[in-house]
Amino acid sequence: MEDLKMFCYQCSQTAKGTGCTIKGVCGKEATVARLQDNLLLTAKGMSAYLYHARELGFVDQEVDAFLERAFYSTFTNVNFDAANFVQLAVEAGKMNLKTMRLLKEAHIKAYGEPEPTEVQTGTKKGQGIIVTGHGLKALEALLKQTEGMGLNVYTHSELLPAHGYPGLKKYEHLAGNLGGAWFDQKQLFSKYPVAILGTSNCVLIPKEDYKDRMFTTGPTRLPGVKHIAGYDYTPVIEKAESLPELDEKPGDVVLTTGFSKSVVLSLKDKIKKLVETGKIRHFFLVGGCDSPHSKAQYYRDFVQRLPRDTVVLTLACGKFRINDLQLGDIGGIPRLIDLGQCNDAIVAIDIASALAEVFGVGINELPLTLVLSWMEQKAVAILWTLLSLGIKGIYLGPILPAWVNDEILKVLKDNYDLRLIGNPEADLKEMLS
The pLDDT of residue 263: 97
The pLDDT of residue 28: 38
DSSP 82: H
Query: Helix, strand, or coil here: 207?
Result: coil
Model's pTM, two decimal places?
0.93
Per DSSP, what are the bridge partners of residue 313? 285, 337
Contact by Cβ (8 Å): 7, 31: yes
CA distance 288 to 333: 22
List per-residue pLDDT tens for the chain, 433 residues long: 444 543 343 343 443 444 444 333 443 347 899 999 999 999 999 999 999 999 999 999 999 999 999 999 998 788 889 999 999 999 999 999 999 999 999 999 999 999 999 999 999 999 999 999 999 999 999 999 999 999 999 999 999 999 999 999 999 999 999 999 999 999 999 999 999 999 999 999 999 999 999 999 999 999 999 999 999 999 999 999 999 999 999 999 999 999 999 999 999 999 999 999 999 999 999 999 999 999 999 999 999 999 999 999 999 999 999 999 999 999 999 999 999 999 999 999 999 999 999 999 999 999 999 999 987 899 999 999 999 999 999 999 998 888 899 999 999 999 999 999 999 999 999 999 8
Per DSSP, what are the bridge partners of residue 254? 120
Handedness of CA 78, 81, 86, 90 (dihedral sign): negative
The pLDDT of residue 30: 77
The pLDDT of residue 27: 35
CA distance 337 to 255: 11
pLDDT digits (tens, 9 = 90+) for 175-208: 999 999 999 999 999 999 999 999 999 999 999 9
